[in-house]
Amino acid sequence: MTEQAQYTPAELKAMRQVLVSGKMPECPRCLVHMTERLIGGGSFGLGYARKREWLICSKCHRSAIYDIKRGTRN
């Protein structure tokens, strides 16, 4: 098997650019629309709560997580 299990940095960047434009990206491997789940984070009382977007491919089950506020991966 020569295909990588994880998305490449270039694939992740391209998906994020589509997401920021207001559209739902496609999985670069399967070409099906990704499913989005919002993830809240942090503990109460700590002064922060990270909000993340989790993009999941329904076909190959690969995923990517982005920090919404920072616009970065993880």
pLDDT in tens, 30-57: 999 999 987 766 555 555 566 788 999 9
Number of structural domains in the chain: 1
65 belongs to a structural domain: yes
53 belongs to a structural domain: yes
62 belongs to a structural domain: yes
48 belongs to a structural domain: yes
1 belongs to a structural domain: no
63 belongs to a structural domain: yes
* Helix or strand run (H / E) with residue 54: strand 51-56
The pLDDT, as a whole number, for residue 62 is 94
The pLDDT, as a whole number, for residue 57 is 96
pLDDT above 70 covers a percentage of the chain that reads 72
Residue 35 structural domain = 9-73
The pLDDT, as a whole number, for residue 45 is 55
Instruction: Please list, in sequence order, all residues whose beta carbon lies within 8 angstroms of the beta carbon of residue 24, skipping any fewer than 6 positions away.
Output: 18, 33, 34, 36
46 belongs to a structural domain: yes
